Amino acid sequence: MPYSLDNRRRLNSENLFLPFFLSFVLLLLLGIIFLMDVSAPQGFQFFGDRFYFLKQQLLSLGVGFIVFFFFFLINYRMLSRVSVFIFFFSVILLVLLLIPGFGQKFLGARRWLYIGSFGFQPSEIVKFSLVVYFASLVEKKKTLLSFLIPLFITAFLIMLQPDLGTTLVVVAIGFAMIFVSGVPIRYFLGIGLLSFLLAMIAIFTSSYRRDRLLSFLNQIEDPLGKTYHINQIIISLGLGGFWGRGFGNSQQKYLFLPEAATDSIFAVIAEEIGFLGSTFLIFLFIYFFYSGFRIALRVSDVFGKMLVFGFLVWMASQTFLNLGAMTAVLPLTGVPLPFFSYGGTSLISLMAAVGVIVNVCLRSQGRLYLFRRSRFVRRR
103 lies in some domain: yes
In the chain, the amino acid numbered 214 is L
Q: Which residue range is the domain that position 173 belongs to?
A: 73-336
- Burial readout 130-166 (b: 16 or more C-beta within 10 A, e: otherwise): bbbbbbbbbbeeeeeeebbebbbebbebbbebbbbbb
CA 352, 353, 354, 358 torsion-angle sign: positive
101 lies in some domain: yes
pLDDT of residue 369: 44
350 lies in some domain: no
372 lies in some domain: no
CB neighbours of 234 closer than 8 A, spacing ≥ 6? 219, 328
Q: Find the angle CA(305)-CA(71)-CA(153) to the nearest 5 degrees.
A: 65
Report the domain count for the chain: 1
Nearest to 142 by CA among 106, 182, 110, 197: 182
Between CA 367 and CA 346 the distance in angstroms is: 29
Question: Tens digit of pLDDT per residue, the chain (380 long)?
Answer: 444 545 554 545 467 888 999 999 999 999 999 999 999 989 888 888 899 999 999 999 999 999 999 999 999 999 999 999 999 999 999 998 888 777 676 656 677 787 767 778 888 999 999 999 999 999 888 778 888 899 999 999 998 887 888 999 999 999 999 888 877 777 777 777 877 787 777 777 766 667 667 666 666 665 666 678 888 888 899 898 889 898 988 888 887 888 888 889 999 999 999 999 999 999 999 999 999 999 999 888 899 999 999 999 999 999 999 999 898 888 888 889 999 999 889 999 999 999 999 999 988 866 554 333 333 334 43
321 lies in some domain: yes
pLDDT of residue 380: 37
CB neighbours of 183 closer than 8 A, spacing ≥ 6? 144
pLDDT of residue 206: 67
pLDDT of residue 224: 62
136 lies in some domain: yes
- C-alpha distances (whole Å) from 132 to each of 81, 87, 253 are 10, 8, 38
304 lies in some domain: yes
Q: What HEC string does the chain produce?
A: CCCCHHHHHHHHCCCCHHHHHHHHHHHHHHHHHHHHHHCHHHHHHHHCCCCHHHHHHHHHHHHHHHHHHHHHHCCCCHHHHCHHHHHHHHHHHHHHHCCECCEEEECCEEEEEEECCEEECHHHHHHHHHHHHHHHHHHCCCCHHHHHHHHHHHHHHHHCCCCHHHHHHHHHHHHHHHHHCCCCHHHHHHHHHHHHHHHHHHHHCCHHHHHHHHHHHCCCCCCCCCCHHHHHHHHHHHHHCCCCCCCCCCCCCCCCCCCCCCCCHHHHHHHHHHHHHHHHHHHHHHHHHHHHHHHHHHCCCHHHHHHHHHHHHHHHHHHHHHHHHHCCCCCCCCCCCCCCCCCHHHHHHHHHHHHHHHHHHHHHCCCEEEEECCEEEEEC
44 lies in some domain: no
